[in-house]
Amino acid sequence: MTTTTTTPTTPTTPTTPTTWPYLDPHQSRTHAPTPYEVKLARTLEAIFTEDGHDLAAVVAGLNARQVRTPDGEPWTEETFRTEMQRLGA
């Protein structure tokens, strides 16, 4: 009679490389965020938290906080859509 001895194994968690492109939160970026982009992102986060998510609330929130378009003009729904498209959002 043959006896087989098994050694208990410890479950291991597979390691995942940290360089996989789909794990990079900024994979579509071609450059580091500019000060304008950082300010816009932080302001949008505050608007989403405090004011609402619909386009009219976002535009009103940006204008109320005096965060202007790249041209220095107040936001409209059209300029917001255009800027989000330009930024790849």
Residue numbers in the chain where pLDDT is lower than 50? none
Residues 6+ apart with CB under 8 A from 13: none
**Predicted local distance difference test score (pLDDT) of residue 39:** 96
Question: For the segment 40-64, what is each residue's pLDDT rounded down to a tens digit?
Answer: 999 999 999 999 999 999 999 999 9
**Predicted local distance difference test score (pLDDT) of residue 32:** 85
Angle at 62 between CA 53 and CA 29, to 5 degrees: 80
pTM of the model: 0.67
Amino acid at 36: Y
**Predicted local distance difference test score (pLDDT) of residue 43:** 97
Report in angstroms the alpha-carbon separations of 21 from 15, 17, 18, 25.
Answer: 16, 10, 9, 9
Rounded Cα gap, residues 78 and 72, in angstroms: 15
Both ends of the chain: CA-CA distance in Å?
68
